[in-house]
Homo-oligomer: A and B are copies of this chain.
Amino acid sequence: MKFCSSCASPVQQSIPAGDNRMRWVCTNCKTIHYQNPNMVVGTISTWGDGILLCRRAIEPRYGFWTLPAGFLENDETTEQGAERETREEAGATIGGLKPFAMIDVPHVNQVHLFYRATMLTALLDPGEESLEAKLFRAEDIPWEQIAFRTVFKALKWYLQDQQQDPTFERSTFHYDAIALSSRQPRAS
């Protein structure tokens, strides 16, 4: 950030009165330009014993498999965002969304939230951001080609819960935070 989006004057970093963090502040109109983490919302959607994954047609991690997910938009709920991303990336129609897992990714200023959901039809129609969308049985999940650590973790939790209780009635909400590791690609 170099300029004020309100008045186009240069911004500089300083700690505003009553605050304790460096912020971008306009040198002219004094507007404070806060920067905060974004939410990524998605689903673990299933049809019978198949789990829905999409193969990425975009960077980062082009060609790798992921759960349908993307940035939460203004004016929508996390549930609506998760449903929308599943529709846009996989062309899937889903219902019965339940919050399933949240994973903080502070080194990229993101919070990833996954719902579990049920596909209402078997129809898939991958969108521009997916090379393909496909249902995988647990034993066929391409673990070596999963795009992001948050997706890997959410899928593992899902399968563990399912094994313990196929109805998910005893499933509790999962939470973890992921730290930066040089051996792993950055989660997006």
Q: A residues within 8 Å of B by Cβ? A: 1-8, 11, 18, 21, 33-39, 71-80, 99, 102, 104, 106-107, 109, 111, 113, 128-129, 172-173, 175, 177
Chain B residues with CB below 8 A from A72, complex form: 36-37, 111
Q: What separation, in Å, do the CA atoms of A4 and B107 have in the docked complex?
A: 25
Cα(A102)–Cα(B82), bound, Å: 15
Could you say which residues of chain B place their CB within 8 Å of the CB of A6? 1-3
Residue from the list B4, B21, B78, B99 in contact with A5, Cβ < 8 A = B4
Once the chains are docked, how many angstroms separate the CA of A11 from the CA of B34? 19
**Alpha-carbon separation in the docked complex, A72 to B35 (Å):** 10
Q: Which residues of B contact A18 (CB under 8 A)?
A: 128-129
Set of chain B residues within 8 Å of A1, measured between Cβ atoms:
5-6
Do residues B175 and A74 form an inter-chain contact, with CB atoms below 8 A? no
CB neighbours of A35 from chain B (8 A): 74
Chain B residues closer than 8 Å to A71, beta-carbon distance: 34, 36
Q: In the complex, A5→B34 CA distance in Å?
A: 13
Across the interface, do B3 and A99 meet the contact criterion of CB distance under 8 Å?
A: no
Counted per complex, copies of this chain come to 2
User: B8, B34, B38, B39: which contacts A2 (Cβ < 8 A)?
Assistant: B8
Chain B residues positioned under 8 Å from A106 (CB to CB): 74-77, 80
Given contacts A3-B5, A72-B111, A99-B175, 18 further A-B contacts (CB under 8 A): A2-B5, A2-B8, A3-B4, A3-B8, A4-B5, A8-B8, A21-B73, A35-B74, A36-B38, A36-B72, A37-B73, A75-B106, A75-B107, A77-B177, A78-B111, A99-B102, A102-B102, A173-B173
Cα–Cα, bound, A175→B116 (Å):
13
Q: Which residues of B contact A73 (CB under 8 A)?
A: 21, 36-37
- Considering the complex, give the chain B residue whose CB is closest to the CB of A74: B109
Task: Please name all residues of chain B whose beta carbon is closer than 8 Å to the beta carbon of A33 when the two chains form the complex.
Answer: 5
